[in-house]
Amino acid sequence: MQNTEVMTGAMVDSSMRRALIFGQMTFVIPVTVLVLLVLTAIFAPFLAPYPPTKIAMTERLLPPFFSDGGSTAHLLGTDLIGRDVLSRVIYGARVSLSVSLLVILITGSIGTVLGIIAGYLGGRTDAFLMRITDISLAFPGILIAILLATIIGPGYWTVVLAISILGWAPYARLIRGEALKLREADFAAQARIIGSSSLRIMVIHIFPNIVNPLIVMVTLSVGFVILTEAALSYLGAGIPPPTPSWGNMVSDGRNLIDTAWWICFFPGLAIGLVVLAGNFLGDWLRDKLDPRLRRL
Amino acid sequence: MGRFIIIRLLQTVVALIGISILIFVLVRASGDPTMLFRSALSTEEDIARIRADLGLDKPVLEQYWIFVTDLAHGDLGESLIKRRPVTEMIVERMPNTLSLALSSFAVSMLLALVLGVLAATRRDTFLDNGVKFLAILGQALPGFWVAIMAILAFSVYWQLLPPAGTGTPAHFVLPVATLVLFMLPGMMRLVRSSMLDVLDSEYIKLARIKGLPERTVIWKHALRNALIAPLTTAGMIFALLITGAVITENVFNWPGIGRLSIEALMERDFPVVQGITLMVAVLVLLINLFVDIMYAYIDPQIRYQRT
């Protein structure tokens, strides 16, 4: 099972994305997009022209301003029950951002702890932990998420839990590899000689040295988490309506595609833009911080 | 070789046990299953009877044992809503999922080979960059959204293809294209990088020195070896296919097991979803086992490395 490297959002090798736009642009543009996302999420109530769940039956299915019949009152049009698409896209940023932050915090912590333990202690512990990791990596996570949503019902915490259950594995694998190398480093050996405990070495000596790959991995997984959350919400296993999330907005628009394309077009575009920004920034960081990690 | 197979088999059994425990625990830890059966009018006795029916009054270990022995007999329980065996419902939908999965696997493998080899042999040309661009987009855009946009373009605007359903070969075009977009970037990258490795090797240099035409060197000598790496990822590709199929089947109303899992989700029919999850997990593990054994058979180094 050495074949799971291509999983997660990091399927494409960096040289590829880098080759497209040269120089600092690969840093400036993604950072701008992500900063805008964070600001949009925080200041959603001030930016959105309407409340995201405000229903207006007299203003149903209005097209965006640049189409025939559209107006600047609803820049991106309205949906089946007259809710403003732009406002919903703006509020949708909150879901994407907060789910990503929570999931990354949970999976990153679990993955780092297990990875350091496996890599540093080695032996049976390592073999055992890596076997669990392999199982997780080979598992179609979306089905576990659907199973969870079936049992406890779809909701915010179901999504976070569902994406976290299998999401720690790529972290554990990467960090374990790093810890394995660091275990043999001189500073670790010296710490052992002066009698430091394994726990102390792992926390004080190994951890600071895996921060760089960890940052790269975190950035690269933003896209993966946002895509997964959107897919789950699209399927009805994620954020339930009426809370706007980009995934459930696309789902709302699916059956109206022949009359109102804008309902699903704009949220999908938002997802694509943010994921693209996360992937590019991850590549840039990797090249700057740790060029050895090309395969990540 | 015998030793390798035995160890791999044992590992698979351990993984199977791990998955059964994970699902068993998830189902029980995430709430009281009787909640799914009872109504507002249920009395204490009703609830006790439901618990007894479900075997929830027995000790946890015994419950797990019953769960596993049922699984071993291919018994995945009964649907709460349809009152039919889950196995039967899955088997009924399987052909639709398999036909979609196999055709998109074939198409993406073929495209991945051609594009991957071309990208490897013509690095940094227009073609190489074009392929990169497609891969970047394919990775960042959500599959379900691309599928809906494809419906908008080809079914609503140009009216060339049916927007949903099954039946004719034309119904395959959009779902297969969506799944291919999902899988192609990863597969193509693998072919490209393993092709680059192979092209660097001694025997390719020899073939060239021998004066073989470049076309024979690349498509016959190099490709054969460059194929090993992509084939070993078959288990993961299958897992990806199923993941993609859950989404794609739902966008296109394709009556496969992915669609079934979402229909069951809507009705909170957990035995059905549990059955599908278990079955897919087992399939992925078995494919991985088979591929690893085949791989070890082809490449002796693996046998020693991994045991």
pLDDT digits (tens, 9 = 90+) for A155-169: 899 999 999 988 899
Residue A94, domain member (yes or no): yes
Asked whether residue A114 carries a pLDDT value surpassing 90, the answer given is yes
Q: Which residue of B has its CA nearest to A157?
A: B30
Determine contact: B58 vs chain A, CB below 8 A: no
Asked whether residue A116 carries a pLDDT value surpassing 50, the answer given is yes
Q: Which residue of B has its CA nearest to A270?
A: B141
Domain CATH number, residue A259:
1.10.3720.10
Rounded-to-integer distance, Cα B116 and Cα B195, Å: 8
Range of the domain at A97: 20-69+77-289
Burial class (CB in 10 A: 0-12, 13-18, 19+), B143: buried
Which residue from A138, A154, A276 is facing B285, i.e. has the nearest CB?
A138
pLDDT at res. B282: 84
Asked whether residue A10 carries a pLDDT value surpassing 50, the answer given is no
Which residue from B137, B242, B265 is facing A140, i.e. has the nearest CB?
B242
Asked whether residue B217 carries a pLDDT value surpassing 90, the answer given is no
**Portion 257-276 of B in contact with A at CB < 8 A:** 261-262, 264-266, 268-270, 273-274, 276
Residue A295, domain member (yes or no): no
pLDDT at res. B266: 86
Asked whether residue A172 carries a pLDDT value surpassing 90, the answer given is yes
Across A215-239, average pLDDT: 91
Q: Distance between terminal CA atoms of chain A?
A: 17
ipTM: 0.83
| Of A80 and B27, more confident | A80
pLDDT one-digit tens code per residue, B46-61: 778 777 777 777 788 8
* H or E segment and range at residue B40: none
Chain B partners of A142 at a C-beta cutoff of 8 Å? 243, 246-247
Rounded-to-integer distance, Cα A137 and Cα A160, Å: 18
Determine contact: B280 vs chain A, CB below 8 A: yes
- Residue A291 DSSP code: G
Across B114-126, average pLDDT: 81
Residue A12, domain member (yes or no): no
Q: How confident is the model at residue A226 (pLDDT cuts 50, 70, 90)?
A: very high
Select from A14, A150, A168 the residue whose CB has the most chain B CBs within 10 Å, as the one to mutate to test that interface: A150
pLDDT at res. B35: 67
For residues A284 and A26, the answer to whether their CB atoms sit within 8 Å is: yes
Q: Which of A13-17, A150-154, A243-247, B101-105 comes out lowest in average pLDDT?
A: A13-17
| Of A17 and B97, more confident | B97
pLDDT one-digit tens code per residue, A15-26: 656 555 555 777
Handedness of CA A50, A56, A58, A61 (dihedral sign): positive
CB-CB neighbours of A211 under 10 Å: 11
Q: Which of A190-199, B169-178, B234-243 comes out lowest in average pLDDT?
A: B234-243
Q: What is the mean pLDDT of chain A?
A: 85
- Beta bridge partners, A84, equal A78
pLDDT at res. A11: 45
Encoded tokens for B186? 């990863």
For residues A77 and A103, the answer to whether their CB atoms sit within 8 Å is: no
CB-CB neighbours of B250 under 10 Å: 23
Residue A9, domain member (yes or no): no
Residue A5, domain member (yes or no): no
Angle between helices A156-183 and A85-121 (to 10 degrees): 30
Residue A189, domain member (yes or no): yes
Domain count, chain A: 1
Asked whether residue B128 carries a pLDDT value surpassing 80, the answer given is no
pLDDT at res. B214: 84
Q: How far is C-alpha B31 from the chain's CA centre?
A: 29
* H or E segment and range at residue A4: none
| pTM (predicted TM-score) | 0.85
Q: Exposure string (b/e) for B204-239, b if CB count within 10 Å is 16 or more?
A: beebeeeeeeeeebbeebbbebbbebbebbbbbbbb
Q: Which of A68-77, A204-213, B43-52, B292-301 comes out lowest in average pLDDT?
A: B292-301
Across A143-147, average pLDDT: 88
Chain A partners of B132 at a C-beta cutoff of 8 Å? 16-17, 19-20
pLDDT one-digit tens code per residue, B64-79: 888 888 888 888 888 8
Q: How confident is the model at residue B212 (pLDDT cuts 50, 70, 90)?
A: confident
pLDDT at res. A8: 40
Residue A139, domain member (yes or no): yes
Across B85-106, average pLDDT: 90
In terms of Cα–Cα distance, which of A267, A183, A263, A171 is closest to A215?
Answer: A171
For residues B249 and B258, the answer to whether their CB atoms sit within 8 Å is: yes
pLDDT one-digit tens code per residue, B30-41: 666 666 666 666
Residue A11, domain member (yes or no): no
Q: Distance between terminal CA atoms of chain B?
A: 10
Encoded tokens for A156? 């915010």
In terms of Cα–Cα distance, which of A76, A56, A79 is closest to A64?
Answer: A76
Q: How confident is the model at residue B191 (pLDDT cuts 50, 70, 90)?
A: confident
Mean pLDDT is highest, among A233-237, B164-168, B265-269, B298-302, for A233-237
For residues A67 and A265, the answer to whether their CB atoms sit within 8 Å is: no
